Amino acid sequence: MLHLRAIVPTDRTEAVCAVLDDCAGATNVVVFPGAARSPRGDLVTSDIARESANEVLAGLRALDIERDGSIAVENIDLSLSDAAELAEERAPGHGDDAVVWAELDRRVSEGAALTWSFVAFLALATQLAAIAALIDSPVLVVGAMVLGPEFGAVAAICYGLTRRQPWRIGQAVWTLVLGFLVAIVITYVCALVSHSIGVIEMARLPAERPLTAFIYSPDRWSFIVALLAGAAGVLSLTAGKSSALVGVFISVTTVPAAGNLAVALALRHGSEINGSLQQLGVNFAGMIIAGTLTLLVQRGVWAVVLRKRGSAATGQP
């Protein structure tokens, strides 16, 4: 269940209540007349099934509540209410499968923002990956994968493609390109300094790295894994299951490839430079293709669910 809190201009309170009354997944509607001071208006709260959130939000937006008032939605960790259970049963579909598009919009917007923390985490992850490449450590590769923050921007590209929003795609691409460029440059400089003072003693990367060779040797499995990771990542975002997103991070080798690229550039190892670039391209392509298709399928499935619900409500076959 989700908890809705809306500040509503007094002249639209009854219309908002009507939207909630008409929604099968809304219950526990409470009105506090004149409770809101900034902006001024009535406070309306309600518990709504996650699968009905889009319907309710669309109704409130049609009344311009987000412009003249305020709309806030938060998750309910525990709800002990027969009315709430009945609302969940009446709502179409299942809550775990529902996509709250406004929530996803906000999440991908935050994930695509080029912030200092995004660049810092990416740079740290890339340096971990570079050390993993030097000592052939799969443990450090996994650590670099988990630390990397890049999937949020990848998800923003997928969302922008489904919504036909070039500006969002451009913002996310810019964040990825600049973020990885800065991270690779920092790691490259650190590798050069380390090589000059003797911390890195080798003249070039080892020819045999059985435990980490996959980060610069893309093959058909690399693309398949990227496809699966892209689909799983988008599903974890839309379903609100952040624990599944950690598994996605561990599946893709974007950050490890970037770390290997930086070290290969510093040690002038041409073949591994090309392999790392190919691995980066394969991973991003696979995740974007699968993530976009996953969002399109989810939109199509929920359109069918809502049509069936509308037909049942009107008694049509």
The yes-or-no verdict on residue 215 having pLDDT over 80 is: yes
User: What is the 3-class SS of the chain, one letter each residue?
Assistant: CEEEEEEECHHHHHHHHHHHHHCCCEEEEEEEEEEEECCEEEEEEEEECHHHHHHHHHHHHHCCHHHHCEEEEEECCCCCCHHHHHHHHHCCCCHHHCCCHHHHHHHHHHHCCCCHHHHHHHHHHHHHHHHHHHHCCHHHHHHHHHHCCCHHHHHHHHHHHHHCCHHHHHHHHHHHHHHHHHHHHHHHHHHHHHHHCCCCCCCCCCCCCCCCHHHCCCCHHHHHHHHHHHHHHHHHHHCCCHHHHHHHHHHCCHHHHHHHHHHHHHCCCHHHHHHHHHHHHHHHHHHHHHHHHHHHHHHHHHHHHHHHHHHHHHCCC
From 119-123, 139-143, 266-270, 301-305, the region with the lowest mean pLDDT: 301-305
Mean pLDDT of 228-254: 75
- In the chain, where are the structural domains located? 2-82, 103-302
Mean pLDDT of 239-243: 62
Note the CATH architecture for domain 2-82: 2-Layer Sandwich (3.30)
pTM assigned to the model: 0.84
- Write out pLDDT tens, residues 176-186: 999 999 999 99
The yes-or-no verdict on residue 309 having pLDDT over 80 is: no
Mean pLDDT of 221-245: 81
Mean pLDDT of 235-245: 70
The yes-or-no verdict on residue 316 having pLDDT over 50 is: no
